[in-house]
Structure 1
Amino acid sequence: MGVQFSHPWLLLLLIPLAALMFYAYRSDFRLSGARKTVAIILRSAIMLLLVLAISGLESYTVLEQKKVVYVVDRSASMPEKEHSEEWILQSAAAKKEKDSVGIVSSSLQASYEQKLLDHLPQSLHLNAAQNPDFSNLESGLMLAGNLLDGRSDSRIVLISDGKENVGSMLAAGRMLKDQGIPVDVLQSPSKQLQDVSVDEVSVPQKLYQAESFSIEVLVQSTYKGRGELRLYEDSREIGRQTVDIAAGENRYAVKALAKATGLHRYRAEIFMEGDQQSANNAGYAFTRVDGPPKVLIVEGKKGTSANITSALSSGLVQYEVMPSPELLPNEMAKYAAYDSIIFNNVSGDQVGERRMEMIEQAVKSYGIGFMMVGGEDSYGMGGYFKTPIERALPVSIELEGKRQIPSLGLILVIDRSGSMSGDKMEMAKEAAIRTVEMLRPKDTVGVLAFDSTNWWVVPPLKLDNKKQEVIEQIRSIQSDGGTDIYPAAAAAVEEMLKVQAQRKHIILMTDGQSAGNNGYGDLLTQMVDEKITMSTVAVGTDADVNLLQSLAEGAKGRFYMAQDESTIPAIFSREAAMISKSYIVDKPFTPALQDAGDWGKLFDNGVPQIYGYVATTAKPGAQTVLSSPEPDPLLARWQYGSGRTVAWTSDMMGKWSKDWVSWPAFSNVLTQMVKWTFPQFTASPYEVKTQVEGNKVRFEVSAAAGNGPEQLQAVVTGDQLQPTTVDLVQESPGSYSGEITVDQPGSFLMSLQDSTGKSVAMPSGLIVPYSPEYRIESGDAKQELERLAAMTGGRVLSWDKPEQLFAAPPRPTREQHDLSYALLAAALILWVADIAVRRLALPWGQIGTRLAALLRRRPQSAGGALAPDAGLGRLAARKERAAAFYGGGSAAPPASSAQPQARADTREEAGAKRPASSRPAAPSASAPRGTQAARPSVAEPGKKAAAVPKPPQEEQRSAAMDRLLAARKRNSR
């Protein structure tokens, strides 16, 4: 152990400070004696401590200990982790008892496997959660550096193949070098695979309809062979060809024709015999084909859109008919191929929650239009209550307080068995909650959860003001147990018989097979007799479909097959709407023109009669063009985000609108309604370039006119439907840049918006290819690892010699201990003592004597105890002499001489007994002053002696001396 100074030159301050203290000691310090000496010593000590503190006095101990942190690359390109675990255990077996080891796993992000300890577990397993699609060695090295403080022989061991694709390990190495932490490297052999991959797909960014173009594909391979190249436009195959593939790079160009307008995604796939890795066999590219706009018509029932298609054809609007909502794409990018989407009497349970969210995002963020056409399976009757589609529409499904609706008794029977866990249970609870929210205070609701037994989550009750309480009870349902349907159905019917309501309905939902299937005949007969209806919902393919279908038919209800659990909420809300029958207004009327705006000229010659529609409520901010006498909106429109939506609440099949579809102006009116929803930009005023680096995508946007708004944002949405907003930085007029981090590859839609959230350009596509971990690398990863080791002063280790890691003796290092706080604390304490010595009037002599006695560990002498009395005696004697000198009366003899005082008293008593003639004569009054003090006259026996008056000066001096004595006594206490 030793001491050192970080700023030793500051010790020169001691020279002038010592001279200052010597001068203070020799000069008038306003103190004297021991107090002066003590004060000088204290101040000298304080200045010494302060100088030592600012000069950086530190103590240190010499350490001989190794601290090693293993950083293990856990990316997909690495071999099995067991190989690394075995080497770590073998190398750590050679460490000494004082040495400590830690482990960090690294892929996209680094995480601790074990912090620094003096041992490893006997059975080592690397279990930290990782994302193997990326390799970020920089993150692992920096996390390992945080464990090491550089106070001992610290080093990092990097076990990796060196194929990093996020960050820079050399940048981390430079920081570790500055901290004095070397990095040893152990190169792991990469997986040796026969591999062929699609590295790049190139198409022109912009095309015109009917234009021919080339799709260029770059293929990498590690071996030679023959393969098949397939090309797709969106999900449609547009060509395939057999190609000869050589080891290394291979480029191919395939001719194609831009047939359909809109944004299209092209995919190229390569298939080759012997390929051992398929994750990198596909590549993507986006292009936009300009031409007439294109509309997607989605039919609730196949073949019901003839009136719509004929009207669009007459208006020269291109369209595509999708005969079933179940064919709607599940990828966000595919909706960008259309300028507008029409739902023709489509039920929400056929669409599903996920597709609804995609359509809403396409309208809100990317300017794609949307129009809903009514019918018996649309709006409230289609189960759109509180769905993403309802949010986008200009009308609301809610009808509360608008009209008299029959009272409803509804019991929800929900399977809560173990197979319903996860998303199924969550969707079932969401469905029940939405259904309760649709009901009115006068309606009765009950919720029965069942497995092998029944549990009344909410016994049947009138809602009144208990809606929120019921919802909270529904949220408490947990999945567990088996499945037994009959007892649950029977219990629901038994309670429904007690309900007072105009319409009674049960919704039964399950995903399993019932333990018993007997007794349903009598139960169904009772339900029909009591006018209780029941609809059933089968969730997934494991449900007893035959039983549920027969129950729905026997109870005069409806059967639903929910392959996608996200459709369950729409099914429940649709059932609640259908049983009330309040949404359909089935009576003829002539629509009234309300707020037509620029559509007013379409109805200059009047409008035909309508015979029915689905009731809705116009939202605040929506423009109601035509309305019914209720009044309910028949035709409404509004702006939703970047897009526009239109609601037509009657049908277009002729059941309710036979006069409307036969109206000569129908084609023009419908075409104008659809065209109004088209995106409001015809060409993009911005050029967007993207560059993918690892898991980061960089945007470079330039305005075609050379200038643009001060603030510009990019909204990126993938198939996860979580839009990400990126603020673009204006680097120069009309030039912007930004960056986004993505967690997984895929295709994304990107839209540019101004500060108000309005789109300023057509949506474009963004491709994040498959993980770079699956790329065929051509560089020398070993050379990069060796550069890292050489930069930091590390070594290149061997798999065959794990013991060499701890073979070298530890490098002695100093562990420093900062003493500045201790020095400052000591200086503060001495400063307080210095103030006490200089400012407090204490009996320092007595205190010193007592302290000295305590230090000598022996009792204090009697003389020391009487010292204060001796001092008072001397003071009294001085007072007596002063009084005698100035001619005062008899003063008491000094208190310090007890025996002389006693003798004087004896003489006075003897004198009192003598005759007066034998006493010495008193000096005459005329005697010279100062020769002898006048003695007081002696009183006769039995009489008091007369007091001799004192001179005024003596009285003043006597009073002053009394005050001095009193002060001395106070100080001695």
Structure 2
Amino acid sequence: MGVQFDHPWVLLLLPLVIAGAIYAYRKDFRLAGARKKWAVGLRTAICVLLIFVLAGFHTYTIALNKEVVFVADRSSSVSSTVPIDEWIGEAVKSKGEHDLAGAVSFGMNTVVDKSLSESIELPGWGQREVSREFTHIEHALSLAGSLFQGKENRRLVLITDGMENVGAVLDEAQLLKERGIAVDVLPVTSPEQRDASIEEFLVPEKLYPAESFAFEVLVRSTYAGSGELRLYEDNREIGRHAVTLERGDNRYSLQGLAKEMGLHRYRAEIYIEGDEQSANNAHYAFTRVTGSPKVLIVEGASGTSANLENALSAGLIDYSVISPGMLSSELSKYAAYDSIIFNNVSGEQVGGRQMELIEQAVRSYGVGFMMVGGQDSFGMGGYFKTPIEQLLPVSMELEGKREIPSLGLILVIDRSGSMDGEKLRLAKESAIRTVELLREKDTVGVLAFDDRPWWVVEPQRLDDKESVISSINGIPSGGGTDIYPAVADATAKMLDLDAQRKHIILLTDGQSAGSSGYVNLIESMVEGNITMSTVAVGGDADVQLLQSLASGAKGRYYLVEDETTLPAIFSREAAMIARTYIVDKPFVPAQVQGGDWGSWFKGGLPQIYGYVATTAKSTAQTVLASPEPDPLLARWQYGSGRTVAWTSDMTGKWSRDWVAWPGFPGLFTDMVKWTFPQFSSSTFEVETEQSGNEVHFTVRAASEPYPGELTGKVTGNNGEEAEVVLSQVSPGNYEGVMTVTEPGSFLLHVSSPEEEAEAGSTSTGFVVPYSPEYRLSADFDPEERMEALGELTGGRWLAWDEPEAAYDFTPYPQRKLDNWDWLLLILALLLWVCDIAVRRLAVSWSWIAERLGPLAGRGRRPAASGGAVPAAPREDSGLGRLAARKSRTAAFYGGSAAGADRDRGVSAEEGGAPAEAPSARPPRSEADAAARPAAAGARTEPSSPPVEETKPEPGAETESAPGQERLGRLLEAKRRGGRR
């Protein structure tokens, strides 16, 4: 063991500390005897400890241990059959007793499987989460290099196939070389597979209707064979072509025809006999076919959109009609249309995922949206607090504009074990949304049940919505399913309520344990004017029972296959029992803010016979209104898109005069055209290029003035959005980059953040078809790169049959330092406390012995001869304590004990006890008493005036002499105490 100082020049302070200690000891230190020695010694020790800390005091031992971190490639290009874990285990077993081993696993990210340790057993190799879609060797080596504890004998063992597709490993190798860390390489050689992959798939970015174009496909194969190349447009097959593949690159050019307008996604797939890897058999490309706009009509009931179709046909607008169940779960499908129309569509028919995608298409990609009213739309359709309400210019809340009958609503929710998870979460969200829709004067109750009912919220007025919502959120799951007790309990509570309209909503996904008594229960509901709607979640619910309950209680029955529609169903039920959303009296609409549509209203407007009441949002433009006034026609800008709300219908039930009006086709066409995207597809030209996990964007502006900066909004298949800043690198040219974590199709919307509407915007798409781990690279030699890595860092080329070679290298001696700073600082702090105690606490050993003496003798009883021992006379308590204190003080400060002896003599005289001390030690002269303070090193003060002696009167000597002598001794003790 040795000693090392990081800053040895600080030790030059030690002579100064020693000199200071000698000076303090020789001078008047106000302390005497042992206390003085202790005080000087403690302070000197404290200073020495602090100097050692400042000098960087360390002890060290010479170590020859080796540190090895194994870096294992877990990406998709490395087969799971490669025995990486077994090789590392054998290598670790060959290490020395004090050698250290650690391990990390990597793909795109890097995780530490085991920190450096002397343990031979290293459990959990490669068990933690690693993204296998990319290979990032640079990041793995950087993290592994940070795990080392010493400065010598450090090595990384890299186990990889070298197929790096993210980062630059040789840049990190240079940094490792400068740190003295060698990288040994154990190459992974995967057997060559029979594999064919589509490396490129190109289509023109812009096309026109009926334009012929070419698909360009590059197929790379590791073997020769014949197969089939298939092409798809928006998941619709458009062609099959027989191909013959040669080993290497094969290029094909296939003809296509642009038929439909909008943004389209094409897919190419290769099928070849003997192909062992299918992950790289497909590739994608996007193109936009420009021309006449295209509209998507979603109709709630089949055959109810004839008036809309006729109007669009008259305006030469292309359209498609679908049912709500055909709405896509891919964002690119909605981006292919210029506008979407909901014609009397109920929210229960539209899934939550579809609502979110439509809202995203309008906000981010400029797709228009229009909602046409009817009995199943707006608030009656259950759109309260949905993404669709968010994009509309009107709100579903009436905000107290008309008196709504008082409502009594009880929600009966199944909380059995089968409802656990997403079902119960959506059921609670549905109940909460319903509570938010009600008013303070309404009454609400929430009853959860499994095999028995449990009142989550007893029926009460909604004075405190937050408390009710909090209780709903706390509903747990568990137990079986028994519907009857819950419905019976809810009915009994509802019969006692004082409300104008009473309604129960029952939700369950299971079969009831009991099935009797429902007939009498339904009769009680009907007699009490109580209605009940039932919701069956999934096909396992007791559909027949729920249908009969809803029918008998004059409610509605819902069969839910998509749980995300539950909130819309509950909101719709709350709106329907209020019955005030529908206004069914005739009126002539009043023009409020006609704008560019005002010319259609100059000749007057036909009557409207009904509509669904809504409230216009603060920034919306109300074009037409009812006498209430409620908005009949409203519009606004929402993000990049525009939306319109028409709160009456267009089937003829409420608008028979309106659809027969000659101006209807032209006005409706203008309403739809107003929602079309307000940008030209040629405003910007966008090019994308993928490199590893990065996508580089190059954007060119079509005309001046050029915006200073562009914003790209990228949306993936999962709906997540990412924003990319496109900076101008030259006039009209912009560049940006983003990282991707997984393959997929992405939509890109480019716009100017300064003046989006004026500067224009463009939507396009790009694809990361599959992980680069599956690419068949023709010009990349991973073995050559790994050899360069080993040579640069001084590493070795290891073999699979020699795992013990991982630790077979000559170690260099290195110092293993032990840091003592904290221990020295703690010791200095403790000595400082002791120094304070020595200087400040005036406690003598004689005083301690005097106090402990009685304790030591307690319990002892002296032997009595011939009788009891007479009790000692009682001392005068005040004078005795004063004399004892004087004696201790004099002894503590090094003074003579004469005064103390005399005081003890006084106590003996007064108490009658013999005073042996004074007789054994005669009192000193006055000269000795005067010299005592100087000898003790204490401060000398002027002596008191001499006391004049008087000769005692005859006969009084015996009585007065002891009193005067005692008084004199007390005065002298007082003077000595003052000097101390």
Give the structure-2-normalised TM-score. Answer: 0.78
CA distance in structure 1 between the aligned counterparts of 2:174 and 2:514, rounded to whole angstroms = 72
CA distance in structure 2 between the aligned counterparts of 1:413 and 1:715, rounded to whole angstroms = 43
Among 506, 509, 523, the residue aligned to 1:508: 506
Task: Give how far 1:297 is off.
Answer: 0.9
Q: Please name the residue that 1:782 is paired with.
A: 783
Give the counterpart letter for 2:561 in structure 1: Q
Q: Please name the residue that 1:720 is paired with.
A: 718
Residue 639 of structure 2 is aligned to residue 638 of structure 1: no
Which 10-residue stretch deviates more, 816-825 or 451-460? 816-825
Task: Give how far 1:401 is off.
Answer: 0.7
Q: Please name the residue that 1:576 is paired with.
A: 574
Q: Please name the residue that 2:973 is paired with.
A: none
Query: Structure 1 residues 32, 310: CA separation in 2 closer, same or farther (over 3 Å shift)?
Result: closer
Question: After superposition, what is the alpha-carbon deviation per residue over 1:831-881, rounded to whole angstroms, capped at 9, x for unaligned?
Answer: xxxxxxxxxxxxxxxxxxxxxxxxxxxxxxxxxx999xxxxxxxxxxxxxx
CA distance in structure 2 between the aligned counterparts of 1:407 and 1:71, rounded to whole angstroms = 70
Give the counterpart letter for 2:665 in structure 1: S
Is contact 1:150-1:181 (8 Å) kept? no
Question: After superposition, what is the alpha-carbon deviation per residue over 1:254-312, rounded to whole angstroms, capped at 9, x for unaligned?
Answer: 21111111211111122233333332222111111111111111111111111111111
Structure 2 residue runs of 5 or longer lacking an equivalent are: 28-44, 831-893, 897-925, 931-950, 952-975
Task: Give how far 1:459 is off.
Answer: 1.9
CA distance in structure 2 between the aligned counterparts of 1:572 and 1:818, rounded to whole angstroms = 67
CA distance in structure 2 between the aligned counterparts of 1:243 and 1:513, rounded to whole angstroms = 56
Give the counterpart letter for 2:403 in structure 1: Q
Task: Give how far 1:211 is off.
Answer: 0.8
Q: Secondary structure at the match of 2:158?
A: strand
Is contact 1:633-1:649 (8 Å) kept? yes
Q: Please name the residue that 1:891 is paired with.
A: none
Q: Secondary structure at the match of 1:291?
A: coil
Q: Please name the residue that 1:628 is paired with.
A: 626
CA distance in structure 1 between the aligned counterparts of 2:660 and 2:594, rounded to whole angstroms = 22
Give the counterpart letter for 2:418 in structure 1: S
Q: How does 1:741-890 map to 2 (within 5 A)?
A: 741-756=739-754, 758=756, 760-778=760-778, 779-816=780-817
Q: Please name the residue that 1:65 is paired with.
A: 65
Query: Structure 1 residues 630, 824: CA separation in 2 closer, same or farther (over 3 Å shift)?
Result: closer
Give the structure-1-normalised TM-score. Answer: 0.79
Is contact 1:432-1:474 (8 Å) kept? yes
CA distance in structure 1 between the aligned counterparts of 2:533 and 2:541, rounded to whole angstroms = 15
Query: Structure 1 residues 649, 828: CA separation in 2 closer, same or farther (over 3 Å shift)?
Result: closer
Is contact 2:68-2:807 (8 Å) kept? no
CA distance in structure 1 between the aligned counterparts of 2:96 and 2:804, rounded to whole angstroms = 12
Q: How does 1:506-585 map to 2 (within 5 A)?
A: 506-585=504-583
CA distance in structure 2 between the aligned counterparts of 1:765 and 1:749, rounded to whole angstroms = 4
Among 469, 493, 496, the residue aligned to 1:495: 493
Query: Structure 1 residues 524, 254: CA separation in 2 closer, same or farther (over 3 Å shift)?
Result: farther
Give the counterpart letter for 1:336 in structure 2: A
CA distance in structure 2 between the aligned counterparts of 1:826 and 1:490, rounded to whole angstroms = 76
Give the counterpart letter for 2:277 in structure 1: Q
Q: Secondary structure at the match of 2:477?
A: coil
Task: Give how far 1:346 is off.
Answer: 0.8
Query: Structure 1 residues 529, 825: CA separation in 2 closer, same or farther (over 3 Å shift)?
Result: closer
Q: Please name the residue that 1:268 is paired with.
A: 268
Task: Give how far 1:186 is off.
Answer: 1.7
Is contact 2:707-2:754 (8 Å) kept? no
Q: Please name the residue that 2:318 is paired with.
A: 318
Query: Structure 1 residues 824, 705: CA separation in 2 closer, same or farther (over 3 Å shift)?
Result: farther
Q: Secondary structure at the match of 2:375?
A: coil
Is contact 1:135-1:163 (8 Å) kept? yes
Q: Please name the residue that 1:87 is paired with.
A: 87
Is contact 2:113-2:124 (8 Å) kept? no
Question: After superposition, what is the alpha-carbon deviation per residue over 1:83-102, rounded to whole angstroms, capped at 9, x for unaligned?
Answer: 22222221111112212212
Q: Please name the residue that 1:112 is paired with.
A: 112
Task: Give how far 1:822 is off.
Answer: 11
Q: Please name the residue that 2:916 is paired with.
A: none
CA distance in structure 2 between the aligned counterparts of 1:274 and 1:518, rounded to whole angstroms = 63
Task: Give how far 1:336 is off.
Answer: 1.2
Question: After superposition, what is the alpha-carbon deviation per residue over 1:772-809, rounded to whole angstroms, capped at 9, x for unaligned?
Answer: 12223443322222222222222222221212222335
Q: Secondary structure at the match of 1:549?
A: helix
Task: Give how far 1:313 is off.
Answer: 1.0
CA distance in structure 1 between the aligned counterparts of 2:476 and 2:895, rounded to whole angstroms = 91
Which 10-residue stretch deviates more, 631-640 or 813-822? 813-822
Query: Structure 1 residues 623, 798: CA separation in 2 closer, same or farther (over 3 Å shift)?
Result: same
Q: Please name the residue that 2:102 is paired with.
A: 102
CA distance in structure 2 between the aligned counterparts of 1:137 and 1:421, rounded to whole angstroms = 42
Task: Give how far 1:818 is off.
Answer: 7.9
Q: Please name the residue that 2:390 is paired with.
A: 391
Q: Secondary structure at the match of 1:87?
A: helix
Is contact 2:532-2:553 (8 Å) kept? yes
Which 10-residue stretch deviates more, 579-588 or 694-703? 694-703
Task: Give how far 1:702 is off.
Answer: 2.7
Is contact 1:63-1:152 (8 Å) kept? no
Give the counterpart letter for 1:298 in structure 2: V
CA distance in structure 2 between the aligned counterparts of 1:651 and 1:673, rounded to whole angstroms = 15
Task: Give how far 1:632 is off.
Answer: 0.5
Question: After superposition, what is the alpha-carbon deviation per residue over 1:585-618, rounded to whole angstroms, capped at 9, x for unaligned?
Answer: 1111110111111211111111110011111001
Q: Please name the residue that 2:863 is paired with.
A: none
Task: Give how far 1:487 is off.
Answer: 2.7
CA distance in structure 2 between the aligned counterparts of 1:828 and 1:421, rounded to whole angstroms = 59
Give the counterpart letter for 1:799 in structure 2: W
Query: Structure 1 residues 230, 815: CA separation in 2 closer, same or farther (over 3 Å shift)?
Result: same
Give the counterpart letter for 1:439 in structure 2: L
Which 10-residue stretch deviates more, 180-189 or 523-532? 523-532
Is contact 1:641-1:757 (8 Å) kept? no
Q: Please name the residue that 2:601 is paired with.
A: 603
Query: Structure 1 residues 729, 426: CA separation in 2 closer, same or farther (over 3 Å shift)?
Result: same
Q: Please name the residue that 2:960 is paired with.
A: none
Question: After superposition, what is the alpha-carbon deviation per residue over 1:305-324, rounded to whole angstroms, capped at 9, x for unaligned?
Answer: 111111111111111112x1
Question: After superposition, what is the alpha-carbon deviation per residue over 1:131-180, rounded to whole angstroms, capped at 9, x for unaligned?
Answer: 22222222222221121134342222222222222223322222222221
Give the counterpart letter for 1:126 in structure 2: G
Question: After superposition, what is the alpha-carbon deviation per residue over 1:332-373, rounded to whole angstroms, capped at 9, x for unaligned?
Answer: 112111111111111111111111111111111111111100
Give the counterpart letter for 2:135 in structure 1: S
Question: After superposition, what is the alpha-carbon deviation per residue over 1:200-254, rounded to whole angstroms, capped at 9, x for unaligned?
Answer: 2101111112111011122222333222222122232222222222332222222
Task: Give how far 1:125 is off.
Answer: 4.7
Q: Secondary structure at the match of 1:172?
A: helix
Give the counterpart letter for 1:549 in structure 2: Q
Task: Give how far 1:460 is off.
Answer: 1.8
Q: Please name the residue that 1:178 is paired with.
A: 178
CA distance in structure 1 between the aligned counterparts of 2:651 and 2:895, rounded to whole angstroms = 126
Which 10-residue stretch deviates more, 673-682 or 698-707? 698-707
Task: Give how far 1:428 is off.
Answer: 1.1
Q: Please name the residue that 1:426 is paired with.
A: 425
Give the counterpart letter for 1:363 in structure 2: V
Q: Please name the residue that 2:283 is paired with.
A: 283
Residue 437 of structure 2 is aligned to residue 438 of structure 1: yes
CA distance in structure 2 between the aligned counterparts of 1:46 and 1:407, rounded to whole angstroms = 83
Question: After superposition, what is the alpha-carbon deviation per residue over 1:42-73, rounded to whole angstroms, capped at 9, x for unaligned?
Answer: xxx99999999999997653211112222222
Task: Give how far 1:3 is off.
Answer: 6.3
Q: Secondary structure at the match of 1:590?
A: coil
Is contact 2:99-2:118 (8 Å) kept? yes
CA distance in structure 1 between the aligned counterparts of 2:796 and 2:764, rounded to whole angstroms = 49
Query: Structure 1 residues 820, 256: CA separation in 2 closer, same or farther (over 3 Å shift)?
Result: same
Q: Please name the residue that 1:211 is paired with.
A: 211
Task: Give how far 1:402 is off.
Answer: 1.3
Question: After superposition, what is the alpha-carbon deviation per residue over 1:890-915, rounded to whole angstroms, capped at 9, x for unaligned?
Answer: xxxx989x9xxxxxxxxxxxxxxxxx
Q: Secondary structure at the match of 1:589?
A: coil
Task: Give how far 1:123 is off.
Answer: 5.7
Q: Secondary structure at the match of 1:232?
A: strand
Question: After superposition, what is the alpha-carbon deviation per residue over 1:96-117, rounded to whole angstroms, capped at 9, x for unaligned?
Answer: 2212212212122111222122
CA distance in structure 1 between the aligned counterparts of 2:51 and 2:506, rounded to whole angstroms = 86
Q: Secondary structure at the match of 1:88?
A: helix
Give the counterpart letter for 2:167 in structure 1: G
Query: Structure 1 residues 773, 489: CA separation in 2 closer, same or farther (over 3 Å shift)?
Result: farther
Identity, % of aligned positions: 58
Q: Secondary structure at the match of 1:147?
A: coil
Query: Structure 1 residues 783, 32: CA separation in 2 closer, same or farther (over 3 Å shift)?
Result: closer
Task: Give how far 1:2 is off.
Answer: 4.9
Which 10-residue stretch deviates more, 353-362 or 819-828? 819-828
Is contact 1:81-1:126 (8 Å) kept? no
CA distance in structure 2 between the aligned counterparts of 1:647 and 1:554, rounded to whole angstroms = 36
State the 4+ residue runs in structure 1 displaced beyond 6 angstroms: 3-8, 31-35, 45-59, 817-829
